[in-house]
Amino acid sequence: MLDTSRFQDAAKYAAYLKTTAGRLRAELAWENLRHFLPCHVSTQCALDVGAGTGFASVQLARLGFAVVLLDGSEEMLDAARTQTETDGVAERASFHHADASRMPELFEAGAFDVVVCHNLLEYLEDPSRTVCDIAHVLRKDGVLSVLVRNRTGEVLRAAIKSGDRALATANLSAETVVDPLFGEPVRVFAPAEVRDMMGRAGLEVVAEHGVRVFSDYIGAEEMAGEFFRSVFELELNLGARPEFAAIARYLQVIARRSAAPSSKRTEQ
């Protein structure tokens, strides 16, 4: 596990999620996932790995899921607790302050119907191992949603928004880029890399979406009302098309476990 203490400023992260870029990232990813959730949730359990301030967890709890929030930052979890209380879903949320690497010891095999892992794999030394651990705690036919930074999107960001052509060229093959919020290096992924991780974990990819295809480049940092809604709808439509998803800032992959997890995790 990388030293994620550099990314634990919950107030800064919560403020980012209120910006147009933050809202679009979180809300588009949720809308993409929503269509793959189980229909009957009276006894369904969900795990939010790297839960942060709890956006996805709150949405799941509102639908009736019992949600477990796992995060290595106590500050993030405190913010998430406050959010679940504010939204009236605290009774359906529980919290674990631990690294993602502890999933196999914290949770039983097949414990969860849904696992959300948004914007965590970028910070890990071995993201493939984490995907395998998630698969272990996911039940048969359970749903996993992963959201990661798209390498191609980082190339375009450098070329278009920053105007740094040398950086854009470097990002074509870069393993990491500098996170603009915290100013630290984070991992980037190509779609094939994420598919490969899913396959090696025994997961079947059922959908791929791009998140934030064009909105970073239109020169409108703050959007509200009908303008935000129109941008959201167009982003949603473009992100579902492979030719546009390929250039998005983020890649979302949704997968299912096609077989029940074994009682013991297979070592790689």
Three-class DSSP category at 24: helix
Domain 4-255 top-level CATH class: alpha beta
Question: pLDDT tens digits, residue range 180-224?
Answer: 888 889 999 999 999 999 999 999 999 999 999 999 999 767 788
Residue 247 DSSP symbol: T
Contact 176, 164 (CB under 8 A): no
Ordered per-residue pLDDT tens for the chain, 268 residues: 444 545 568 889 889 899 999 999 999 999 999 999 987 766 799 999 999 999 999 999 999 999 999 999 999 999 999 999 999 999 999 999 999 999 999 999 999 999 999 999 999 999 999 999 999 999 999 999 999 999 999 999 999 988 999 999 999 999 999 988 888 899 999 999 999 999 999 999 999 999 999 999 997 677 889 999 999 999 999 999 999 999 999 999 999 998 766 655 544 4
- Token readout for 69 is 């929030």
Q: Please, which residues have CB within 8 angstroms of residue 248's CB and are 6 or more apart in sequence?
A: 150, 152, 153, 209, 210, 211, 212, 213, 239
Return the pLDDT at 85: 97
As given in the structure block, the two tokens for residue 139 are: 């039940």
Span 214-256, pLDDT tens digits? 999 997 677 889 999 999 999 999 999 999 999 999 999 999 9
Q: What is the gyration radius of the CA atoms in the chain, in angstroms?
A: 18
pTM: 0.92
